Structure 1
Amino acid sequence: MANGAKQNTAQKTALITGGSSGIGRATALTLAGAGYQVAVCGRRLEALEETIEMGSDLPGKIIASAADVSDPASVEALFADLKARLPRLDVLFNNAGVSGGSINFGDLDFEDWRKVMDINLDGMFLVANQAYRWMRDQDPQGGRIVNNGSISAHVPRPGSACYTASKHAVTGLTRTISLDGRVHNIACGQIDIGNAASDMTAHFAKGLPQADGSVKPEPTINVMHIANAILQMAELPLDANIQFMNIMARDMPFIGRG
C-alpha cells in the first residue's frame, strides 16, 4: 500500500487508553460504530467489560485488556497481549489521564506532582512509545497517534500546576513524535479538550476557581462531540494530519483566561 493510502475502516484497528468511561468510552463506541476493531485498556477490567457490552451490536468489535499505563511492565504486557489478538495497530488514542485537583502551588508537594506526572506524562510516553514501535515495524508500515492534551496545554487554571505542566509536556511530546514519525509513515496529532462532560468534570457545575478569586460554575459539552472529532482525525489518510485541534464548551472561560 502506498504511503498515505487510506485503508478500509472495516480492517482498521484502534487502541484507546482510559476506555472504561467518559471520553475514552465514547470514542471506543464511535470508532466501533464506524467499523473499527477497537481495543480498550484501563485499570478496571469490569468497567472495560461494560464498554464492550455497550458496543456489542456495533459493526466493529471491542476487546479489552487491563493495564496501568504508568507502569512500564504493565504497558509491555498490554502490547504483548494486543499483538497476539490484533493483526496490526492503525490508531492510538492516548487518552488516559487524571486532573490532580486544585492545589495552590505553595501547598503542592512532590507526591501530588508525581501522582499526576506518572499517568499524564509517563503513561502518555510509555503507551505512545510502544505504539510507535508497532506502527514502525508492521507491514504496511505506519499509523496515527492522537494524544489527549487539554485547554490547560495553552493556559492554566488556578491551582493546576501539576496538570498544566503535564499537558504542556504532552504538547512537546506530540510535536516530537509528529516530526520523528514522518520517516515511518506515522502521523501524530493532539486534541485539546475543554470541559467535556465526564466523571472528571462532574463537579464543574458546582463551581471552579477563577483567575479573579471567585468560584463559578462552568458549562460542559457532550463527550460525543469529542468522539466524533477523534473519528475525523482517525479517518484522514496518513499523508494528512490535524496537528492540533481545540474543542470546548463555547462559553467556558478559555479566551478570557488567555
Structure 2
Amino acid sequence: MDVMGGVEDQDGGRRVAVVTGAGSGIGRAVAVALDGAGWSVVLAGRRETALAETAGAMGRGGAPGPGAGSAAGAGVLSVPTDVSRPEDVDALFAAVGERYGRLDLLFNNAGTFGPGGIKVEDLPYSAWRKVVDTNLTGTFLCAQAAFRLMKAQDPQGGRIINNGSISAHAPRPDSVAYTATKHGMTGLTKSLSLDGRPYRIACGQIDIGNAATDMTERMRQGVPQADGELAVEPVMDVTDVARTVLHMAELPLEANVQFATVLATAMPFVGRG
C-alpha cells in the first residue's frame, strides 16, 4: 500500500470503491474520506443534484450527467441509482466494470428510516415494503452484484461494508420496519462473510449511533424514549464515522472488522430502556 501516493491495488492503480446513498450524510462523508485517501469513488444515489454536491465536496467539481455511467468531474463516476430496483443496480455495477474493470470496496449505505411515530398496528403495508426494499433488499442486490465482479476479477477478491445501525441491537419506539431490516442486515453480513471466504471477499458491518446528519437532526429537538419521555440526545461528528469506515476499508483482505459500533458516547444505548 502506497500511503503517501494513495491506496493502490496489486496492479499499481487506484483502488475502486462504490458508495451507495452517496448524496448526503454518512455516504457523502465516507465518499469524501475515501477520495482523500486516494481511492477512485463511484457515487450512487437517487438524486443527481445531491450526487453533484458530493462530487463538489470531494473537490472534483462538475455535475453528473443523465443516466448510468456519467462522470462527475475528473476521476469520479456518478450513477443515479435506486437500490431497490434490480435494473438500476445492474446498471450501476455494469458502469463500474466498464469504467474501471474491477471493484475493491462496496459501502452499502443507502437506507431509509421510514415514517416515524406510527404504531405497529397502524403501519401501512406500503411503508413497510419501502423500508424493506431499500434497506435490506437493496443491500442484498448491491452485494450480489459486487460479489459477481469481485469473484470474476483478477486479482480476485474485495470488501463489502454494510451500514447497520445500533437498531440492529436495540430498537427505538415505533420503528418496527427499520429495526427489522437492521437485524436482517446482521444476518446478511454474516452470510456474505462466510460465502465470500473462498474468493477473498471480506464482509463487515458498521453499526452507527447518532452521527450528525440531516436524518438525525431531530435528536437535537428531543426524541421518544422507551419510557415514553422525550429526550434530547447527543450526536457525534459524521467524519468520525467516515474515519472508521476508512480504517475497515484499508485493512488487507486477510483481516476483517466483522462488526464495529461507533456512537455518540453519551447517547442512550448501553442501558437503553
Pairwise TM-score range, normalised by the shorter structure = over 0.9
Please say if 1:141 is aligned against 2:156. yes
Given that residues 9 and 36 in structure 1 are in contact (C-alpha distance below 8 angstroms), is that contact kept between their aligned partners in structure 2?
A: no
Whole-angstrom CA distance in 2 between matches of 1:8 and 1:213: 56
AA at the equivalent of 2:81: A
Select 2:166's aligned residue among 151, 173, 189: 151
Select 2:244's aligned residue among 204, 229, 249: 229
TM-score by length of 2: 0.89
Select 1:63's aligned residue among 77, 93, 109: 77
Select 1:27's aligned residue among 19, 25, 30: 30
Whole-angstrom CA distance in 1 between matches of 2:263 and 2:75: 29
Given that residues 95 and 148 in structure 1 are in contact (C-alpha distance below 8 angstroms), is that contact kept between their aligned partners in structure 2?
A: yes
Give 1:256 shift: 1.7
Whole-angstrom CA distance in 2 between matches of 1:7 and 1:98: 36
Structure 1 stretches of 4+ with a deviation exceeding 6 A read none
Whole-angstrom CA distance in 1 between matches of 2:55 and 2:41: 10
Identity %: 55
Select 1:184's aligned residue among 199, 211, 217: 199
Given that residues 32 and 62 in structure 1 are in contact (C-alpha distance below 8 angstroms), is that contact kept between their aligned partners in structure 2?
A: no
Which of 243-252 and 10-19 deviates more? 10-19
Match of 2:69 in 1: none
Matches within 5 A, 1:80-91: 80-91=94-105
- The alignment partner of 2:208 has SS state of strand
Given that residues 60 and 76 in structure 2 are in contact (C-alpha distance below 8 angstroms), is that contact kept between their aligned partners in structure 1?
A: no
Change beyond 3 A, Cα 1:84–1:6: closer
Give 1:89 shift: 0.3
Match of 2:66 in 1: none
Given that residues 14 and 92 in structure 1 are in contact (C-alpha distance below 8 angstroms), is that contact kept between their aligned partners in structure 2?
A: yes
RMSD: 1.8
Select 2:176's aligned residue among 145, 156, 161: 161
Given that residues 41 and 77 in structure 2 are in contact (C-alpha distance below 8 angstroms), is that contact kept between their aligned partners in structure 1?
A: yes
Give 1:57 shift: 5.6
- The alignment partner of 1:11 has SS state of coil
Given that residues 200 and 253 in structure 2 are in contact (C-alpha distance below 8 angstroms), is that contact kept between their aligned partners in structure 1?
A: yes
Select 1:51's aligned residue among 34, 54, 59: 54
Match of 1:132 in 2: 147
AA at the equivalent of 1:137: A
Please say if 1:14 is aligned against 2:17. yes
Select 2:234's aligned residue among 191, 212, 219: 219
- The alignment partner of 1:190 has SS state of strand
Given that residues 76 and 130 in structure 1 are in contact (C-alpha distance below 8 angstroms), is that contact kept between their aligned partners in structure 2?
A: yes
TM-score by length of 1: 0.94
Give 1:109 shift: 2.4
Which of 78-87 and 145-154 deviates more? 78-87
Give 1:63 shift: 2.0
- The alignment partner of 2:155 has SS state of coil
Deviation readout 1:55-109 (Å, 9 max, x if unpaired): 1269x93321101100011111111122111231000000000011232212222
Give 1:144 shift: 0.2
- The alignment partner of 1:99 has SS state of coil
Given that residues 10 and 155 in structure 2 are in contact (C-alpha distance below 8 angstroms), is that contact kept between their aligned partners in structure 1?
A: no
- The alignment partner of 1:96 has SS state of coil
Please say if 1:247 is aligned against 2:247. no
Where relative contact order (Cα < 8 A, 6+ residues apart) is larger, the structure is: 1
